[in-house]
Amino acid sequence: MNEESWSDFEFCKANEQWYFLAKSIAEKEALEYGKTSSLKIVTICPSIIIGRLLQPTMNSSSLYLLSYLKDGLETLDSGTRSLVDVRDTAKALLLIYEKDEAEGRYICSSHDITTQDLAEKLKAMYPHCNYPKSSALSCPCHDSFAGGMPSMDMNSEKLQTLGWKYRSLEESLVDAVKNYEERGDLAV
């Protein structure tokens, strides 16, 4: 998946994925407006953002990661997820602001990992947490895909040509879990 990839509007509508549809429409409209005005529009498309939280409430990305650690789900949805550290996302935003040559869309993602591999990695780091017991489809929108969600590896090469670098997945996971502990969201 690269900067030429867009959410399928009809798929989003048919599966009531209104959040993804709204984000895609807004981004397309903003980029089109930039082409017809003197305003330079540059967008960053981050994957699932993980890391320390500054706000007092959990966001959906953090809840996604936290669900692996404490919900004890019976099943875990299958497929590949793309993750990026919140600090690396902030660096990407600053980078495109500072670079005159920045233009158009930029995918901001550092790690593609299967849900099973993410669960196994977290189990190795934090063995006493309450992990999902198995991998299976758990989201109605996944029914369209025989055998699970397709791999949607995100490609950040365009952003990397501007000098963007990212930290290891392990560092991001450790910092996120430590933050969840400090906030009282997780007892590890």
What pLDDT digit, counting tens, does each position of 99-155 carry? Answer: 999 999 999 999 999 988 998 999 999 888 887 766 554 444 444 444 444 556 789
Relative orientation angle of helices 169-183 and 115-125, to the nearest 10 degrees? 60
pLDDT confidence band for 69 (50 / 70 / 90): confident
Cα gap 70→180, rounded to integer Å:
11
Q: State the DSSP H helix or E strand holding residue 35, giving kind and residue range, or none if neither.
A: helix 18-36
Locate 18 and state its tokens: 């209104």
For residues 56-78, average pLDDT: 81
Q: Over 70: is that where the pLDDT of 88 sits?
A: yes
Domain residue ranges of the chain, discontinuous segments joined by +:
9-183
Considering only the top CATH level, what class is 9-183?
A: alpha beta
Q: State the DSSP H helix or E strand holding residue 87, giving kind and residue range, or none if neither.
A: helix 86-98
3 state DSSP class of 80:
strand
Amino acid identity, position 119: A
- Under 8 Å between Cβ of 30 and 104: no
The model carries a pTM of: 0.84
